Chains A and B, each alone.
Chain A
C-alpha cells in the first residue's frame, strides 16, 4: 500500500491545528522586543530595561528579568489616542498600517515547521506535511507575501501627506525592488541543488546531503545581507532614515498605528529568519541525525531533549545563584525584594529540572515504541510522529532565534549606510556576486551530478 491521502479525523485535526503556526511571527514579537532592548543594553554595557514590575498581593514585585517592560510598552501604545493629521487620505491612512501586519499571518503558511508526519492510524499510513500549505511554489509564494508588506509603507507614505513620509515611502519601494532581486537570485543556487521550489523538499535535500550554508556559503552571505536590507533595519534603515527623514514613512503615525508598523517589522524579521534557517541551516532537521534515526530511537531522542532543557534550567539556576550572592552583598534598599523574586525563580527552575529528569528517565527506559512495517516502509505510531514533530519544531525555533539575534546584533554594531551606498551595494555588488555564484553552482552541479 502506498502512502495515501486518508481522510481520518486525526488528519483533519492536525491539519486544522497547524493553522496555529500562523501566530508564530506575532509571538516572536514578544521575544524579539526584549531581546532587542536588553541586547542593545548589554552591547553598550548597560542593563537595559529591567525596572517595570507586576505587583502580586502577599508576595511582592515580579520583574520577570525585565520582561514586564514588553507589556508596559504594548499597553501604552494600545491606549494612546489615534489621530490623523489634517488633510490626509483618511481611508488609506488608516488601512496602511494594517497591511504589513496582515501579511504576517499569511507568510508562515509555506514554512515547513516539522518534517512530514508519517504514522500508522487504523491500519493505514497517514502523511501530513509540515507546512500549512504544502505548495510546490512555496518559496515564490513567501517572496510574494513579503514583498506585499512594502505596500503598507508606500500607502502610508503617500496617504499621510508629508514630505518626509513620501520620501521614506519612495525609498522603501526602491529598496524592496532592488533587494528582492538579490534575495531571489542568491537563493537560486540552493533551489538548483535541491531541484525544487518546495521548502519541504529543500529541507529534506539538506538533511540527506549537506546544509545550505556549507553548499552555498556565498549565497548564504548575500541572502543574509539582502534580507536584512529588505526588512529595512539598520544598517539599511534608509526608509526610516532618522538622521534625514524624521521617521520615514511612519512619521505621521502614533499610538497603535505606529505599533502595527513596528510589529510588522519585527514579524518580518521573524519570517526572514525562519526562511534563512529553512534554506541554509537545514530547517527543522537535527544536526548530524537523520529523521529516520531519531524515529527509530524515539525514547532516547526525548531523553536527550529533556537533558538539554534540564541543562538550560541548571545554567539559569547558576546565573540566578551567582547574581543573588552578589546582590546580597550590596546595600541596595530593594535587595530583599529582588532576592525573594529570585527565590521564586529558583523554586520554579528546580521543579523544572526535577520534572525534566524524571521525564528523561521514563522516556529512556519505558518509552520504546515499535514501528510497523506497512508496504515495506517502517512507520511509527502517532505518538512517535508527534514527538518527532516537537523536536523538529524546537530545532527550527532555535535556529531562527539565532538569526533573529543576528538581526539585532548587526543593527547595534554597524553604522548605517548612505542611501546611494545601499543602492550600489545592492545592484553592483550583491547582485553580481549572486549571479556569479548561480552560474558557478549550475556549472559544477552539471559537471558533478549530471542533472
Chain B
C-alpha cells in the first residue's frame, strides 16, 4: 500500500485570497487569448470543418474486393463469431469459382449496434473486412438505413486509398491488371 501524504497548505495558501487571485490571473490569460487570438482556439467548427482522422482510426467498415470486383469474403463467419455486439449477419451460397468453397450472399453490419471494437477486422482470415474508411459520421433518417448492406460495404474507390496495395488490386486500381493475371482471369 502506498500512502501519499498531502502537503499541508502554507500560510499564504490558507489565506485563500492570494490563491484566488492567482486563479483569476490564469483565467484572465485564457480569456485574453480567446478575445485577441480567437482564430488560434483549438475548436474545429465541425460540420463545416472536418477533423483529421488517423489511419488507424476504426471507422466505418468496408469489404475488400478481388480483381474481378467480387467481395473477397469467403463467408466463413469468423467476424460474426468474434463480434461482441452481434451486429454482423452473414448468409453464404456456393461460389462460382471452383477454387473457392463459398461466397457471401448477404453481409449486413448494423452500425447502431456496432461498438467499433475492430475484432471483426482482426478475426478475418482473408483480410476481407477493414475499418479504414475514415467515415466517422453516421446520419440517417430511419433505423434500417443504419444497417450497411453488401453493396454499401463494397462501394469504395481505390483512388481513396493510394498507399494501400491491397486496395489497388480492386477494379479501377493501379494493380488491377497485374492481379488479374495472377488470379488467372483474362484481362478484358
- A: residues with CB less than 8 A from B are 38-39, 41-48, 51, 319, 322-323, 326-327, 330-335, 409-410, 412-414
Contact = CB atoms under 8 A, between A and B. Distances in A.
Contacts of B36: 319
A333 B49 CA distance: 7
Given A322-B39, A323-B39, A327-B39, A45 B34 contact: yes
Contacts of B38: 47, 319, 323
B1 interface: no
A45 B30 contact: yes
Contacts of B42: 45
Contact of B45 (A39, A332, A412, A414): A332
B41 interface: yes
B109 to A, nearest CB: 29
B48 A334 contact: yes
A414 B23 contact: yes
Nearest to B20: A414
Q: How large is the interface on B (under 10, 10 to 19, 20 to 34, 35 or more residues)?
A: 20 to 34
Contacts of B43: 46-47
Given A42-B34, A323-B39, A333-B47, 5 more contacts: A43-B27, A333-B49, A335-B48, A409-B27, A413-B26
Given A332-B48, A409-B24, A414-B23, A44 B39 contact: no
Contacts of B23: 413-414
B31 A409 contact: yes
Contacts of B24: 409-410, 413-414
Nearest to B42: A45
Contact of B30 (A44, A51, A319, A327): A44
Interface in B6-53: 20, 23-24, 26-28, 30-31, 33-36, 38-39, 41-43, 45, 47-49
Contact of B49 (A45, A332, A410, A412): A332
B39 A326 contact: yes
Contacts of B26: 413
Interface string B163-174: 000000000000
6 contacts: A45-B33, A322-B39, A323-B39, A332-B45, A333-B48, A409-B31
Given A46-B43, A413-B23, A330 B34 contact: no
A335 B48 CA distance: 8
A335 B30 CA distance: 26
A413 B27 contact: yes
Contacts of A322: 39
